[in-house]
Structure formats: C-alpha cells, structure tokens
C-alpha cells in the first residue's frame, strides 16, 4: 500500500496472496518492527531492488502495479512514488498494507445471484457493468443486476506479513528501488532528500507513525502522549504510537501557504491543570494569528472551552510579497511560567522594526492572556502590543528554553543566512535593516550565536540528561531543506556537530521525558493548500545504550557469599549484583539459577521441582556437562551431580568463582564484571565432550513475544524458527522479548566449525547450545570462553560490535581493560 492523492494509503506491492513461496534461500520470519528499523537506516541496493520488484517468482509486483509503461492496474501507478513519499512511508506501506486504504482500492466481496462469492477490487465500467480486478492480475466484467450484495472490506488485497519473508537486505533493496521512482531534477527545496537515515554512533531511529496532513509542530506531554499540529486545522493526538482518529480540536483556519495550525503546548502543570494552548491563523473575519487555550478532557478539548488569549494583526493590511508566508507560530512556556509566542513578518520586512504590530516579534503573555508588568516595551506601546518582548526577527520559526538555567534560543529562518539567536528581553535582532548572518553584537542589534547559509532552519530543543549525559544542555536543531539535525554547544557555539541526516523536511523536534528525541517530518512542501496530504511522519531517536542511567548506578560488582535464591527453592547461592544484571550462582550444582535484568525479570526461571521439566528444572546456564561421566555445571536438580565452588577474587571490578566437578575431572571459572559475565571451561578429561547451553525465558516469561537473532541472521526470528549449523565469527546469539528494549547476548569467544543449535522446548523455554548438534556434545578442547550480557535498545550492528568488544576484552587482559568495560 502506498499513499495516494487524498492522503491515505492503499494496497500495493501485491505478492501472490495464495502462494507461500515468497522465495527465500531459507525459511525465515522477521518481525515487521525489526524490518522497519533495518530498512530505515540501511542504504540498500536499488538495482537489486529493481530486479526483486520485477521478479515473477518472488514479489510479482508488476502484476498489480504500473511503473512507466509496464505493469498492471489493480494497485496504484508507482512511477513517481519515491518523489511523493519518504522512506518511513514506503517502509510502513509494505509492512502494514491495511492501515489506510484509499477509496477506489478497497477489496470487495461480491455475492452473486447464483451463490458465487467473488473477491477483488471493483471498478465502475458503465451504468450496467462493473469490472472486477483480482489479485492474480485478471479482470472480468460483471453485470450489476447479477450482483446480489457488495461487501467492502477494511483489509487490503495485500495480506499482512508477506514482506516479512524477505531478508533484511532484500527489503532494504526494495525500498531503495522505490525511492528512485521520482521526477528528474531537484524539485522543490527538500524534495531531493532520500536514502537511509544516518544517525550518530550510539543512537537508533525508528518510525512512530505516518499519514499526517501538512504537519507543522508537535509537543510531547509528560505522560508520553504527543500532540501534532496539522496545518489544515486539526490538533491530533498520538497515544501509544497510534494516531487517534478523533482530533483533539478542529479549528476554522486559513491554511494557505504557511498559515494554519502552527503551534501547540500545554500548561507547565499539565495534566493537573488541563490546558492546551494553540497558535493558529484564523480565517474570519480576516486572516490573523490567534492564541487560544482549550481545556482537555482526556484526548479531546471540551466543547466551548476555548479562551482566546491573543488576537494578531489583520494580515490583509500588513503587506508582504507573500503575505501568507513567514508566519512563525511556535509557543512555549518560559521558566517563570510566562507564555512566549514567535510571529513572523509575513514577508513584509519593515514591520519587524515597528512596535505597533506583532510582525517579526517574540511575544510574552501570562497564562490567562494578561500582559506581564515587566515586559520591556510597556511605555512605548499600548494595548495588546505591550506583549512584545523582542523584535527585529524575520521568521522566528521556533525556540526552546534550557531547563538548567532558562537559556532561550530562537531559530530565525534566514534571508541570506539561517540564525540561532539568544532570546533576550528587549533586544532588536535587526531585520530587515541588518541582514541575517555574521553580524556583530552591538548596542543597537543582537547578532546570532550561530549562522549558516540560507536553507530553512526549523525545530530546536535542548537535550536532557536522559538522552545523553555528555550532551546534556546542548541544543539540537533541524533544517527543513537539508534534512539534517545538528548539535550545538551554546557555551561554545563554534562547536557544532552532525547528529542525523537523510530526513525529508523535518519541521519540528522535541525531547520527551523518556529521553527520546521526537522529530516531525512534514515531507510536503507548503504551497497554498496544494501539498500532498498524508505524507507527514513522526520518528524517534533514542540512545542505544542508556547513557544517563548507567552513570547513576553503582559501577562496581557486589558479592553476597551467603545468599539463597528464593525463586529457585531457596537453594544456597552466591548473589552477584552488577550494573548490568543480578546473578544467582547455585553453589552445589555450580550453575546459574537466576539471571535478573535491571527491571527484575529473570531470564532463566530455574526451579528444582521434580518433573517440572522445561517449566523449571531443565533451565539454567551453562548446563555444560551432560552424560559425560556425570552431569555438571547446572543448578542443582535431581539429575545434577554435585560440584564445589569457591571465591577466587572479590574486588569492585571483578568477582571470580572457581567450579570443580565432584569427580575432579572438570573445572570452570565464572568471572563477573560490571557489564558482563564470562564463563570459561578450564579443564576436561580426554575423550569427553561438552556444550554450553542457555535454557531460559527471554524477558522473564516464555511467550509469543520472544525472538532471537544471531551472527548469521540480520533480523530477529520468532521462536518457532529453529537454528541449525555453525554460527559465523564472531559466534553469538541474542534473545529478546518484543515488549522490552533489551536483549540477552551470548558470545563464544573462540571461532570453531562445530554446529550451534537453537529450538524452543514445549513452548516453555529456549534451548540454545554452542557446540550442539541434535543431542550430541561437540566441544572437545579447553580453554573455551563464553560471555553473557544484557544490551539495551539493540540492533544487529550493535550486537556484533559488543560481541567483538567482549572477545577483545578477554584477549587483551582483564586488568588492563576493566575500566573501559564499565563504559
């Protein structure tokens, strides 16, 4: 499904819906969320994607879709689809074909008078006939009088899930090809942005939703909901990643050019004080800015609750080359509880220097619309114009306040240059007397702290500690034309670095209380209600490692030698607390009985109850020696033979515990570091073999949300998919739960050619083994080292990199690198 004129989606990318042969080299089942993340940041090979698109064996796209002079007519013409929609839209359209379906492409079931039921897309042909288009690409004409009933479906002709059977690389290739289907030339500013989203190391990006109409501004609420302004009159609500169908409010706007709904914020004490403030351009009795306050009742405004706090100038009298341009519209509360509003000069220029108009100004009012008694121009103005706080701006598109010290930075869309200005009471920024750019500060005009050649600076906000402890208080700002986000240190404004690129027309950005950076992509151009609807999207950037939380926790390793594991029948155990996990090492069996993450979830779930099997007694790590002269290194159950354990070292950086089998033939070493556990088999008898098993419960409970990924699978697989065969170097497998942003990474430090096997047992636990083929143990030499660690907000690249880090940590000497391991 792709979006079409009319701002909603329809069926596309039709594969044979009756064929299970979505041909792959091997049967895999990737989750749509992981496919989406992968394709968002991977360039893909457009030529391979073109071949895939045209394949009659794999995708069969041309059965339904036309590109140029080739293809069918069941789905939309895709000849220019890459010019209309950005990468987030293309990805979502393939993965969720039924989310929105444009009229004219809905599937119908026709109940015929003779009892037959025919399915397909119905097109009118004449007053007496219709044409039915089927998924096989065939058409047939039917008499209207032969149709007893037509039932229109909300399900796309393309079934959900078919794209998931492509590999991650194939899916990215297909998206890359679709992006090439675009008009020649650069088009309108920002239209040429395409390709993968590129983001700074340590961060990931994901699409929250698409389908917004003329998106202009957003606000992230304390409870995680997001308000989004649509230029055409609506304030929309995003809750739990979904765009709610009912708007918070719909306003009678003039939405030409840059007018419309252009700013939103909430009361500083929201939701206890349930007020939502909106800046919009009203149509009647003449185009003018209006700041309105609405009282929220859940996700909608209470009818008739609007209180108009400020009424702007009659724009018909203010002039300008494009009077409906340069509207500004951002509004946010300052540190002392006053409401600030930015208003552009509607391309008129000179009024920005006059104090009898709002054009080109930053305004400051009380929460109820009153004028603060310390506003700077009270003696030079009268009436509503006493709200003026600073002047001489061109188009102060947005601004933000730093929480730590109240610093205000304003993004002013440029003449010859784009500017970041320090928001200061009573100043004149000089426009149009002084052009934008490298102007010095003097007694008359305030110059920018940062500037760059003309494009279109847009959203900006200050980073909280939860996003990055090292970047806390830095200013992140976007450019609508260039499609990038940069980071600026306000205390050293010459220090500006790239954060992200490849975004098509980012219009606003805000940090949430969860530490995420939310970015609103408008995609559409601005021209006079002629922009393509439904093309806006919302994406989120998050750190791939919890930088802030890591710094707030203890960085050391703590050992309790006399603990018991209450979840494992109160067996005596060593309890080891680290910033990464809490481990219970059961003493007499010398195996892990519990592996608990930072949220209290036990990823093993061992219990020694007899005959509990996969529900308890089989679980654990490493469960290494089985029927090899005994059963060793497994938390004690009826089948486990005893071992001895003793603490070899206890320091803040490392706890080491030696385990020796009861017969003295086997020995192993547990080493607990701040951010991982390493287990090494150090001794074994000749002519014996072992394996290393993770038998547990990803996320704390084995269920349908669990998945795995490995060094030879770029995308996560559901638990019903097995793994057989040797993992490539570096050998690793990771397990996750779809409800959590954390995985358990398991690494084998020595590359070998032994088979590694995964399957799930009785829908109750994982069975993954390094050096396992069927029930055969394959490892036959020592030392062999393995590591466990939790990795937050992972992706395949990060997991591979972490695996290599752990291997290098072991090789290069623990004492030398222990400090870096805690990073």
Residue 758's CATH number = 2.70.98.10
Report if residue 433 sits inside a domain.
yes
Does residue 170 share a domain with residue 236?
no
**pLDDT score, position 23:** 27
Whether 10 shows a pLDDT value over 90: the answer reads no
**pLDDT score, position 334:** 97
Does residue 53 share a domain with residue 80?
yes
Range name among 24-33, 178-187, 190-199, 731-740 with the lowest pLDDT average: 24-33
**pLDDT score, position 362:** 98
Number of domains within the chain: 4
Report if residue 45 sits inside a domain.
yes
Give the orientation angle of helix 168-180 with respect to helix 46-54, to 10 degrees: 90
Report if residue 185 sits inside a domain.
no
CA angle 411, 414, 420 (to 5 degrees): 30
pLDDT band of residue 188 (cuts 50, 70, 90) is confident
**pLDDT score, position 533:** 75
Residue ranges with strand state E in 695-783: 706-710, 713-718, 731-737, 742-748, 756-761, 765-770, 772-773, 776-777
Does residue 753 share a domain with residue 711?
yes
Which residue from 303, 228, 293, 284 is spatially nearest to 261, judged by alpha carbons? Answer: 228
Q: What is the domain-level CATH number for residue 130?
A: 2.30.30.100
Report if residue 186 sits inside a domain.
no
Q: Which domain holds residue 146?
A: 107-153
**pLDDT score, position 801:** 87
Does residue 454 share a domain with residue 540?
yes
Does residue 416 share a domain with residue 534?
yes
Tokens of 747: 């690494």
Residues 555/560/564/568 CA torsion (nearest 10 deg)? 30
**pLDDT score, position 163:** 67
Task: Determine how many CB atoms are found less than 10 A away from the CB of residue 298.
Answer: 11
Report if residue 11 sits inside a domain.
yes
pLDDT in tens, 58-72: 777 887 788 998 887
Does residue 506 share a domain with residue 576?
no
Tokens of 568: 């494992």
**pLDDT score, position 77:** 83
Which residue from 190, 9, 17 is spatially nearest to 98, judged by alpha carbons? Answer: 9
Tokens of 509: 């950005």
DSSP state, 386?
G
Q: Is 394 exposed, middle or buried (0-12, 13-18, 19+ CB in 10 A)?
A: buried
DSSP state, 349?
-
Q: What is the domain-level CATH number for residue 69?
A: 1.10.760.10
Does residue 582 share a domain with residue 448?
no
pLDDT band of residue 85 (cuts 50, 70, 90) is confident
Whether 817 shows a pLDDT value over 80: the answer reads no
pLDDT band of residue 208 (cuts 50, 70, 90) is very high
Domain boundary among 522, 548, 574: 548
pLDDT in tens, 96-147: 776 766 667 788 889 999 999 998 888 899 999 999 988 777 889 999 999 9
Which own/partner contact pairs does 562-565 have at CB distance under 8 Å and 24+ positions apart?
565/593, 565/594
Report if residue 810 sits inside a domain.
yes
DSSP state, 6?
T
Q: Comparing 269 with 98, which gets the higher pLDDT?
A: 269
Whether 355 shows a pLDDT value over 70: the answer reads yes
Report if residue 189 sits inside a domain.
no
Dist CA 823 CA 491 (whole Å)? 26
C-alpha atoms less than 13 angstroms from C-alpha of 794 in its C-beta half-sphere: 30
Q: Across residues 534-540, what is the average pLDDT? A: 91
Whether 527 shows a pLDDT value over 70: the answer reads no
Whether 501 shows a pLDDT value over 70: the answer reads yes
**pLDDT score, position 191:** 79
Q: Which H helix or E strand runs over 179? A: helix 168-180
Q: What is the domain-level CATH number for residue 224?
A: 2.120.10.30
Which residue from 490, 505, 392 is spatially nearest to 458, judged by alpha carbons? Answer: 505
Q: Which residues contact 686 (CB under 8 A, 6 or more apart)?
A: none
Q: Please state the φ and ψ torsions of residue 243, each to the nearest 5 degrees.
A: -80, 115
pLDDT in tens, 671-716: 999 999 999 999 999 999 999 999 999 999 999 889 999 999 878 8
Q: Across residues 382-387, what is the average pLDDT? A: 98
Dist CA 31 CA 722 (whole Å)? 15
Domain boundary among 500, 528, 548: 548
Whether 17 shows a pLDDT value over 70: the answer reads no
Domain boundary among 493, 520, 548: 548
Dist CA 547 CA 551 (whole Å)? 7
Does residue 378 share a domain with residue 328?
yes
Does residue 634 share a domain with residue 586?
yes
Collapsed DSSP state (helix, strand, coil) of residue 819? helix
Q: Is the pTM of this model over 0.75?
A: no
Does residue 408 share a domain with residue 487?
yes
Does residue 605 share a domain with residue 703?
yes
Q: Which residues contact 324 (CB under 8 A, 6 or more apart)?
A: 254, 256, 257, 258, 259, 287, 315, 346, 528
Residue positions counted in the chain:
823
Q: Comparing 706 with 5, which gets the higher pLDDT?
A: 706
Q: Is 470 exposed, middle or buried (0-12, 13-18, 19+ CB in 10 A)?
A: exposed
Report if residue 192 sits inside a domain.
no
Whether 442 shows a pLDDT value over 90: the answer reads no
C-alpha atoms less than 13 angstroms from C-alpha of 647 in its C-beta half-sphere: 16
Does residue 98 share a domain with residue 10?
yes
Range name among 276-290, 403-417, 425-439, 806-820 with the lowest pLDDT average: 806-820
């Amino acid at each position: 499904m792709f979006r079409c004129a009319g701002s909603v989606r329809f069926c596309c990318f039709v594969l044979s819906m009756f064929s299970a042969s979505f041909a792959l080299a091997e049967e895999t089942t990737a989750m749509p969320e992981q496919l989406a993340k992968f394709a968002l940041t991977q360039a893909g090979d457009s030529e391979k994607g073109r071949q895939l698109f045209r394949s009659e064996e794999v995708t069969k796209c041309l059965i339904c879709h036309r590109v140029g002079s080739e293809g069918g007519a069941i789905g939309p013409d895709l000849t220019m689809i890459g010019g209309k929609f950005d990468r987030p839209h293309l990805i979502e359209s393939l993965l969720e074909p039924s989310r929105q379906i444009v009229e004219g492409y809905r599937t119908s079931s026709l109940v015929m008078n003779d009892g037959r039921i025919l399915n397909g897309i119905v097109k009118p042909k004449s007053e007496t006939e219709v044409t039915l288009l089927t998924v096989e690409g065939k058409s047939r004409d039917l008499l209207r009088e032969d149709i007893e009933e037509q039932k229109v479906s909300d399900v796309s002709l393309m079934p959900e899930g078919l794209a998931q059977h492509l590999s991650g690389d194939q899916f990215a290739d297909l998206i890359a090809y679709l992006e090439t289907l675009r008009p020649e030339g650069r088009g309108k500013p920002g239209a040429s942005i395409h390709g993968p989203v590129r983001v700074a190391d340590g961060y990931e990006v994901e699409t929250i939703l698409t389908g917004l109409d003329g998106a202009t501004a957003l606000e992230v609420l304390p409870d995680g909901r997001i308000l989004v302004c649509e230029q055409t009159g609506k304030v929309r609500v995003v809750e739990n990643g979904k765009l709610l169908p009912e708007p918070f409010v719909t306003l009678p706007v003039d939405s030409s050019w840059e007018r419309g709904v252009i700013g939103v914020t909430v009361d500083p004490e929201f939701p206890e004080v349930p007020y939502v403030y909106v800046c919009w351009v009203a149509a009647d009795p003449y185009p003018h800015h209006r700041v309105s306050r609405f009282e929220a009742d859940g996700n909608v405004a209470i009818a008739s609750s609007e209180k108009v706090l400020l009424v702007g100038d009659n724009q018909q009298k203010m002039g300008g080359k494009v009077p409906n341009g340069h509207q500004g519209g951002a509004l946010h509360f300052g540190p002392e509880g006053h409401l600030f509003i930015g208003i552009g000069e509607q391309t008129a220029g000179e009024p920005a220097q006059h104090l009898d108009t709002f054009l080109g100004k930053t305004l400051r009012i009380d929460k109820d619309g009153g004028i603060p008694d310390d506003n700077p121009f009270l003696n030079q103005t009268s009436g509503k114009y006493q709200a003026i706080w600073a002047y001489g701006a061109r188009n102060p598109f947005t601004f933000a306040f730093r929480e730590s010290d109240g610093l205000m930075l304003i993004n002013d869309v440029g003449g010859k240059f784009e500017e970041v200005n320090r928001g200061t009471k009573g100043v004149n920024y000089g426009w149009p007397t002084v052009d934008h750019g490298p102007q010095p500060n003097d007694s008359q005009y305030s110059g920018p702290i940062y500037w760059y050649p003309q494009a279109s600076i847009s959203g900006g906000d200050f980073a909280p500690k939860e996003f990055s402890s090292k970047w806390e208080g830095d200013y992140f700002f976007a450019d609508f034309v260039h499609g990038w986000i940069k980071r600026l240190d306000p205390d050293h404004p010459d220090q500006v670095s790239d954060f992200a690129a490849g975004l098509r027309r980012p219009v606003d950005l805000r940090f949430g209380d969860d530490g995420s950076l939310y970015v609103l992509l408008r995609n559409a151009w601005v021209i006079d209600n002629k922009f393509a609807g439904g093309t806006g999207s919302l994406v989120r950037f998050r750190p791939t490692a919890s930088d802030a939380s890591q710094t707030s926790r203890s960085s050391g390793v703590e050992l309790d030698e006399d603990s018991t594991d209450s979840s494992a029948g109160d067996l005596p155990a060593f309890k080891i607390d680290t910033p990464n996990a809490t481990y219970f090492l059961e003493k007499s069996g010398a195996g892990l009985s519990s592996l608990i993450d930072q949220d209290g979830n036990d990823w093993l779930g061992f219990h020694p109850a007899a005959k509990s099997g996969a529900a308890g007694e089989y679980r654990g790590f490493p469960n290494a020696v089985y029927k090899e002269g005994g059963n060793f290194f497994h938390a004690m159950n009826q089948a486990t033979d005893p071992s001895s354990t003793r603490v070899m070292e206890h320091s803040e950086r490392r706890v080491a515990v030696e385990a020796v089998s009861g017969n003295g033939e086997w020995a192993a070493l547990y080493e607990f570091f701040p951010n991982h556990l390493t287990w090494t088999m150090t001794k074994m008898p000749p002519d014996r073999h072992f394996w290393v098993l993770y038998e547990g419960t990803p996320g704390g409970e084995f269920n349908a949300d669990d998945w795995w990924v490995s060094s030879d699978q770029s995308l996560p697989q559901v638990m019903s998919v097995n793994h057989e065969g040797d993992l490539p170097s570096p050998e690793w497998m990771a397990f996750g739960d779809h409800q959590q942003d954390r995985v358990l990474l398991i690494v084998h430090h020595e590359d070998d050619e032994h088979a590694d096997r995964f399957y799930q047992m009785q829908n109750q636990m994982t069975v993954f083994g390094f050096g396992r083929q069927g029930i055969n143990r394959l490892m036959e030499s020592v030392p062999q080292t393995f590591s466990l660690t939790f990795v937050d907000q992972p992706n395949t690249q990060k997991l591979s990199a972490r695996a290599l880090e752990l291997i290098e940590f072991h090789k290069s000497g623990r004492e030398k690198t222990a400090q870096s391991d805690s990073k």
